[in-house]
Structure 1
């Protein structure tokens, strides 16, 4: 018979539920030792984690019930209940440590949170274990937590500072690249304008060359015509068709003056 039943039926019932969970945890870890598949090990650890969460909730209920009964119980009973509570916490922490070991082996020494927080089970920041610690231990743990917090803050400041530096360098680089792009755009506009002017100049030169060619061709035809006429005149001096051409017609007859005839 559970000795707690003589003190409180509710405490005895909670203690029985906790004992059942402890037996399930013991059997579960023994089964886990025999499992070789990593996926099955992970699922088994998840099931054991759920049982430990439930056990934690029951121990909190046990602790609350003990605190409610402190004023009605004698000192010996309160001492026995506190020792019982500490033994439950200690046993749960042993399973938590075992779970950590398996989790570390399963995930390459990576520790994970068990109860959605920075510590698993009833760690140093847990109210149940803190109630059984001395003042010096509480002060040491508090100083350690403050040191860790300060270190985390310093790391955060360092990350923020590095982020600001990276942002500044990135902004400067983007500004330089923007100025370079503006210069490139201006140079492209200048090149486009130069190409347009050169194209117009080439067109004008082409028109001038075409005009000069026409003039040269016309002059060439005139020269050819004159040469042909000269050749024809020399070959056929009596040809009347070219007698009126200046310089090529035969000399006119000398006319006598009337006063020379007398």
Structure 2
């Protein structure tokens, strides 16, 4: 019966799963490490793998603590398998630690070789400088030291100037960015105002259009009335005896009053 076939509490299962995940990550990391040629990248990747090993060591301690805390509640067979699993994890972790040591030693040897190669030409120059210094007097040595100190002070001053210029450029850049930010805020506000104005203008145009349509209808109606009146007047002029026109209010002749009838009768004009 394997450890997966026996029941563990949820805490132990979680710890065991995290340890196995870290072991898989370590295996993949060491496989990829062989393909990395750059020494700096190898060193950085070794640091990451070392961090995972520390995490595995911590988790194994927690796993062992859980075993001891639940030892009285678990059957002997489960306790034995849990301890065996812990030992196997410790052995696997030690194998990764050995691999890390091997890679670290190889990486250190490569760096030493590069330093030796780079120091070859400078070693000759140092030897020549030592020969020149041995032939110089004390005063010459003091002067040379002062000259070197002066050059160092000048280099420091130049570095300070560069730093000051960098700070000034950074300050100007910050001010420029703040001004651009404020300008962008103003542009956004102006765009909002323009959009509001466009909406109001659209509403006003619609209202004007409706008013013009209404006015147009009224004008057409008035024109029709005028045309009708003109037509009636024309017909009245052309045919004044038209009875239909007399029936139209306002166009029929006035009804004779009693006084007018007497007047017309006296004159013999009444018809």
Q: TM-score range by the shorter chain?
A: 0.3 to 0.5
Q: Bigger radius of gyration, 1 or 2?
A: 1
Name the one with the larger helix percent.
2
TM-score (ref. length: structure 1): 0.45
TM-score (ref. length: structure 2): 0.44
